[in-house]
Amino acid sequence: MIRFEQVSVRFGAVVALETVSLAVEAGVLCTLVGPSGSGKSTLMRLVNRLVEPAGGRVLVRGRDVAGENPALLRRSIGYVMQSTGLFPHRSVAENIATVPLLLGWDRPRIAARVTALLALVRLDPELAERRPAELSGGQAQRVGLARALAADPDILLMDEPFGAVDPLTRRELRAELRRIHADTGKTILLVTHDPEEALELATQVVVLRDGQVVAEGAPAALVAPDAAPFARELLGGGQPGLRRLSLLPASAAWEDAPAPPDAPRLPPGATLADALSCMAETGCNVLGLEEQDGSLRLEAVLAQGR
């Protein structure tokens, strides 16, 4: 879906990216993470030609973007910014309708799409006529996401989308993005400074440093003991073993032996970190799982973190 082939970017004498090659397949939620100045946003902005490469090629949907009309390319790709970028003089509905209007959709189709998107991002329909200044930060960010999805693009670019909201709202928005990604199957490229966010959201994580990709892969693999040291240090937050347990399902250490009848039960979807927390709280070193036979032992959980 998105492919970078030996891409370099320079801003004057500054090298922002150096011969970067990377593939993001269709339907993937890929997070770009790394220190400030590592090239994360630059790499993402190559996709919709907000940045032009000094060398190499950027392919989107199998086509070199250098040959695409920039305006048409950008209308075909959703874009969410940290500041939301909402038009202050337009209502929520009018903001969401921006790209469909540019594409020439008729009014009934636009109205139906706005209604559907307000439901998708879980905003009250009564907010449709409000101006951005009348919204909370979390509401404004949801409107920004709805606007990016308005024309039903297959690709969504997100540049630090939750960086300007409080921690509680940020957690809620992360959960909403995971749900929307699961529901829509969009290909999403998301830039973040937050290692925890990168791991929590992604199906593919890309770690950048000094304009180069130093590691990429599944979240749990990048905090494994054999992962690239810089990636493991950055993403592990000083506790890579615990981070890894939070990314692995309880089934990763599941055994067929039955759990004791009085053993605490984990809910479906629990992670190994959830299991370890339950063991610490209850003092039990063997757990069961609701609606499933078998058991989970403390030793098996700890082994997955190493």
Is the separation of the CB atoms in 33 and 193 below 8 Å?
Answer: yes
- pLDDT, position 131: 95
Place of tokens 């930060």: 137
Q: What is the tens place of the pLDDT at every residue in 134-174?
A: 999 889 999 999 999 999 999 999 999 887 678 888 888 89
Got the DSSP string for 4-20?
EEEEEEEETTEEEEEEE
| Long-range contacts of the stretch 227-233 (C-beta < 8 A, 24+) | 231/207
Question: Is 47:76 a contact under the CB 8 Å cutoff?
Answer: no
- pLDDT (average), residues 85-94: 92
pLDDT at 162: 85
Question: Average pLDDT of 103-109?
Answer: 94
Q: How many CA atoms lie within 13 A of 97 on its CB side?
A: 20
List C-alpha distances in Å: 210 to 22, 163, 207, 213.
16, 22, 10, 9
Q: List all residues 6 or more positions away from 217 whose beta carbon is below 8 Å from its beta carbon.
A: 204, 205
Average pLDDT, stretch 247-262?
89
Instruction: Please state, in angstroms and rounded to a whole number, the distance separating the CA atoms of residues 139 and 121.
Output: 9
From 39-53, 154-168, 178-192, the region with the lowest mean pLDDT: 154-168
Confidence band, pLDDT 50/70/90 cuts, at residue 238 = confident
CA 233 to chain centre: 20
- Give the number of other Cβ atoms within 10 Å of residue 242's Cβ: 15
Contact 115, 100 (CB under 8 A): no
pLDDT for res 293: 85
> Pick from 156, 164, 217: which is nearest to 183 by CA?
156
How far is C-alpha 34 from the geometric centre of its chain's CA atoms?
14
Distance of alpha carbon 163 from alpha carbon 185, whole angstroms: 24
Give the torsion through C-alpha atoms of 102, 106, 112, 113, to 10 deg.
-20
Region at 262 (left for phi over 0; alpha for psi -120 to 50; beta for the rest): alpha
Q: Quick one: which of 120, 107, 119, 130 has its CA closest to 156?
A: 120
